[in-house]
Structure formats: structure tokens, C-alpha cells
Amino acid sequence: MRARTKAKIILSFLQILTEFESVLQIRFPDMFGDWTTWMSSMANLDMLRLVSATCIVDTNFFSTLLAQTIFPILFSLLIFALPYFLSVARKSNNAGEQTEEQQLTEKEKWKKQKDVAVSAFLLLTYMVCSSISVTIFDTFNCVQFSDDPTTYLLRDNTIVCGSDIHSFFKNQGSASQIVIAMLLCILSLFLFIHMRPFERNSDNNLSILTQISLYFTLFGALLERVGVTTSEIYDDTTFAVLLIAVNLLGPCLLVYSLLHALISELIESMVGEKHEHNGDLRGMDEDKCRTREGFVSHFLAVASSSEAEGGWMNFLNRKTKWKQFLDYSGAVVETRCSKGIGAMDDMRTTFSVKCNVDIVKKYLWNEKRQLRHGDAVSFSVGSDKHNRKASDVERTSFYLAKTTVGFLSARDMIMQAFMGEVDGAWYIARRSFEDEQIHSKKNSSVEGRVRATVKYEGYILYPESQYETRVVFLQNIDPGGVLKGTFRKRVMPKYVRNTVDELLNFAEEHTANAKFEGFGRKNVGGGDGEEDGDETFEVEMSSFTGTVVTGAGNPLRLGV
């Protein structure tokens, strides 16, 4: 769940914050101290005493402290060094030149071993973090027994607080310790800003903000330690309010992120476009559509459905550019709610192009993943063309990132596409799938993109004649993020218009190129035009049929 990560960040932040006063022996203003005590009762769960080094060796407290802090560091170094030594050992055993396949195998082994090492390191830190933390805190926990003025360490009563060895480990709440803690906060802040370890931007922003809160709280502790709070101009209440305000930034951001999604959904439900119909095609059988056959069958059924079957209605847009687009393209744009009631998410566009169906099919399939209008990044991640018969369905997978305009974030998606022929018509059907190895959502977030989900998108190509193709363009895309209805209303019509314009321009350029090549041909027969059966002639291009007509009236197909 999205809220779970944010809750963990806030919980960790509060657990650290509420320990500052006791660990650093700093007396914050009463108002802030009472507030942290109240927060501590909710945030601090006493689940730390699970592992202890004293279970292994009978030692005093300080030897346990050293062992529990040094041994994990040594084990971590060993964990990360082991893959390196194994790699060196393999290279020494396989001395000499390696084939490309062997090099790839070696790289795969190295990557897997690194992944195992990182997992082992994280497991180790998780296991020892609790016991180390409580041991460090126990360094400052001194008690006094009866009337004896001497204080002893609660964890180990043989150690006198204030003795040389205890002072060496303690120096409780010194200014230098506070400065070191501030430097650690700066280091953590630097790592969160540059590494951005969380998948979602909102989680990264929350972790950064909590580190800033901890830093300024420590800065307040430093002011307390060096005596700034004894100044005449110091106001205890103002200082407390500032500290509370700084440390409420994280929880406020958490509340905002949760309410933001709810408010956005509420606005969408109030002002978003709704549609209800009684068509037969409502919903999508997810189990059936997991297979290629089921998915393609559903796509074809929706794309070729009648107005009554699908519940289609004309898409209304009063903008002048949209009306001009419909006039010059002759396109018919329809929309509907795929579920039968709710937000309109299906959009179907029907139009014709003056181009052969094979040329249109090749252009739309875009095997080389050439960038089209609005594409920021596009690359293929695999296909199954090998060992494929001409009648088989062709399949490919690719990553695509699209730019947007205005305040809306760019979108990206990983898609699987199928191409085949049914009853004389060709189809290209695409859908989303997830693969973190291809392009993770975290990388998309770092790049400022939102992962969109393509429920189905594609084309049906009907050959109307040798040089004309009727195109049905269908799409159902969940844009992700918030304000989905606004995205569909503002961006999707532009996407449709750009797609149609691009295909019309391509067909026009292709016809013009074919005409130019046709005018350049002088000899139709073989040889140099001198032998029997050869005919030298002038050529002309029919602007609508795309054929070259010889002087004898015989048509010559140009292969458009």
C-alpha cells in the first residue's frame, strides 16, 4: 500500500526525534518536551531487546558495546568482498580469451552475487539495528541507589557513571556530539536527495523533509548546549512553537498526500464526464484476457462494435482546432465508458488514408521504434520474429515515454504488441505489462514521469482498395497519478489528433515520393529500349489511383 511506506518513514522519524532529549541530556522547552513525550507514547514500541551480544560471551557492558558496533561493520565488509573474491577466482580458473557468451554469463553471475550481497547486508543491518541502538542508549542510563551519591550504569551496576572509562564512551550531550549528529543528518539528507531510494516521489520528498526537521531540532539542541537560550532576548514559548512547527512538516506532508488523492478523486467524481449505456460490451474478463487470444479477441470486439453493441457516443469538443481537424481528416471520434457506467475511458477514431494497407501496417507497427510525435524515449525490448511463419501473429515489446504540456507530468509505459490478420483486415493490438528490469517505476519517478497503464490500444486496418485503407484507432489508457479525468479530457484528444495527422502526412508524403519515382522511369521493358518488345514512353501519375499509365494505356503499379 502507498500509505504503508509513508507511515514507516514518519514512525522512524518520530522514534528518533523523541529520543533526543534523553540521549543528549538536553532540556527542551516544556511545551516541546511535553509534545515529544506524547508523540513517544504512540511512536516508540518496545521491541528492541531481541538480540544481545551478552548471550554469546560473558563480558562487561563496554566490551559488549564495542563488539555489537564493530562486528557488523566487519561482517558487512566480508559480505561485499566475497563476490569480488569469487569473481577473481573464476577468472583465474578460466584464464585466456573468453567468448562473448562466456562474458555475458560472467556478468550475470557477478550481478546475481552483488544482489545476494546487498540482500544479506540489509538483512544483517535489520537484525542488529535494534540491539545496537538500545545498547548505545543504555550508555547514558545511570541510576542512583538509596542515599549513595554515586550513580551506576543501569545495564551494568559494576560500572560507575562518571568514571574514566564511562566518560570515554559517554561525554553525554556534548556540543561535539550534537555537531556529529547534525553532520549525520546532512549525510542522510544528501543520500536521500541524490539516491532517492523510494519508488514514489512523494515518499522521497517525505524522507527528505523529515531529515530537515531532525537537523533543525539538533540545531536547537546545539543552541541549548552552548547557552544561547540563557540570553535575555530568548523566549521559551517561541522556541518551543518553532520546534513543534518544524517537526510537524513531515506529518503535515503525509496528511496532505493522503488527502490530496482523496480530494482529487472527489473532484473527479463531481465534475468529471460520466457515461452510462446499455450496450452488450461492458467490462473486461481479466482472466480470459491474460492470454494473447483472449486479449486480441476482446480488442477486436470493442474496436469493431456497433453503436448499440458498444454504447458509443460522439465525442464533443467545441474548440475550433478540433472542428477543423474533423473537417480535413474526415475522422469520426467516439467515446464511451468501458464498464457501462462511470468515467468515459474508451475513445475510438475512424478515418481513411490514401495508402496501401501494407504500407500503413508497417508504419504503425514501427519495428525500429522510431520516435513519433510526442515521443521522448522509445526502444524495443524483445520480439518473437524468429521461427515465425507468415501466417503467425507477430509480437514485440517496447518501452515508450510520452511528453505532455502544461502542469501535467510526462507519462511512460511498457507495452506488448500483437499484429495479425483476421478476415482480410489487419490488427495491431497493444497492452501494458510491468517489468522492473526493463524500466522500474522508481526510475520513472526520478525522471519525472508517471507510469501509465494501457488497458488496450491499437488499430484495425481495412483495405478499402489497393491504395486506400480505413483505419479504426482504439485506446483505453489509465494515465495514472491524480486528476485522471482532466488528463483524458485535455491530453487524449490531442493524442488522437496528432496520431491521425501523422498518419495522413505519412500517406501524403509516401504518395508524393511514389509519384516522383514514377516520373523518373522512362523504360518499362528490359534492356536499353532498342530490342523487340521494349517501349519507350512518357509517364503520368494518377493523383488518386497511384498508378503510372503507359502510352498504350497499360497501368504500371508502383508498389505503394
**Beta partners for 477?**
454
Amino acid at 271: V
Which of 85-89, 343-347, 368-372, 518-522 is predicted with the least confidence, judged by mean pLDDT?
Answer: 518-522
How is the chain split into domains, by residue range? Answer: 1-44+173-271, 274-513, 520-560
Average pLDDT across the chain, whole number: 78
Q: Would you say residue 527 has pLDDT above 50?
A: no
Band of pLDDT at residue 548, cut at 50, 70 and 90 = very low
pLDDT digits (tens, 9 = 90+) for 497-522: 999 999 999 999 988 887 666 555 44
Q: What is the mean pLDDT of residues 334-342?
A: 89
Q: What is the Cα–Cα distance from 100 to 98, expressed in whole angstroms? A: 7
Find which of 147-156, 162-171, 377-386 is predicted with most confidence, using mean pLDDT. Answer: 147-156
pLDDT band at 44 (very low <50, low <70, confident <90, very high): low
pTM assigned to the model: 0.57
Q: Answer yes or no: is pLDDT of 239 > 90.
A: no
Of 129-138, 273-282, 382-391, which range is least confident? 382-391
Contact 172, 215 (CB under 8 A): no
Task: With H, G, I as helix, E, B as strand and everything else as coil, classify residue 151.
Answer: strand
Backbone φ/ψ region at 149: left (φ over 0), alpha (ψ -120 to 50), beta: alpha
- Please say whether the beta carbons of 131 and 49 come within 8 A: yes
C-alpha closest to that of 426 among 370, 359, 379, 334: 359
Judge whether residue 449 has pLDDT over 70.
yes
The CATH fold of domain 274-513? Alpha-D-Glucose-1,6-Bisphosphate; Chain A, domain 4 (3.30.530)
